[in-house]
Copies of this chain bind each other. A is one copy, B any other.
Amino acid sequence: MRPEGRQPDALRPLSFEMGWSPYAEGSCLISFGNTKVLCTASVEENVPPWLRGQGKGWVTGEYAMLPRATHQRNRREVQSGKPSGRTQEIQRLIGRSLRAAVDLKALGERQIVVDCDVLQADGGTRTAAITGAWLALKAAVAYLMEEGVLKTDPVIAQIAAVSAGVVNGDCVLDLEYEEDRVAETDANFVLTSTGGVIEVQATAEDTPMTQSQFDQIFALARRGVTDLCAAQLKALGQ
């Protein structure tokens, strides 16, 4: 039995507050159950130095957690002078995932930075971040199109992310913290609305998983992403 009687293939309650931030070009406060991530997309009219003059844009992501987003307080990363390995891994994942959804040529020589700040953490923060980041990005692009800065939409794919894993031998979707900390396997999937595979990261903590378990959690993730994509479109009013 999962917490609160959730079915193995059920997502937690979802919510999206588009435009939560008054200053960002695009923003979304996304919740996967008790996990809350504020995603803000900032448009900058320049690109990183190594990309200058190539007529292409860039999309990148940053990720952080408030110190008391979690059950126990965590030390701020600025205190140790650098982002942890975990933070860097997640940032790179968010950036890669978003770039796979964007035609960087069509974006033009500008950059969109999507900040994903975890206000509350109850498992699945990186998948909530990616799912919300796509919405913030989409909103920022809508803003650029309204302003006439962009003529065509550079967002060429709809993406969402979800976790799945093996907990006490059962394959389950969208793990919360209590499940995550005892899971045998934890996996994150970034998929497109049309079934394309952008990123798979599956890790067996102690016991290797079987091929069959891997196949089952992948199937759960596909179903979860389908639901997330539907909810994203609704949040965009489509």
Contacts and interface: CB of A to CB of B under 8 A. Distances in A.
Contact of A198 (B117, B192, B200, B204): B204
Interface in A180-231: 187, 191-192, 195-211, 213-214
A214 B197 contact: yes
A24 B73 CA distance: 8
A81 B79 CA distance: 8
A119 interface: yes
Contacts of A38: 66, 119
Q: How many copies does the complex hold?
A: 6
| Chain A binding surface, main DSSP class | mixed
A52 interface: no
Contacts of A200: 187, 200-202, 214
Contacts of A199: 202-204
A117 B76 CA distance: 11
A120 B119 CA distance: 13
Given A120-B23, A197-B210, A68 B89 contact: no
Nearest to A41: B68
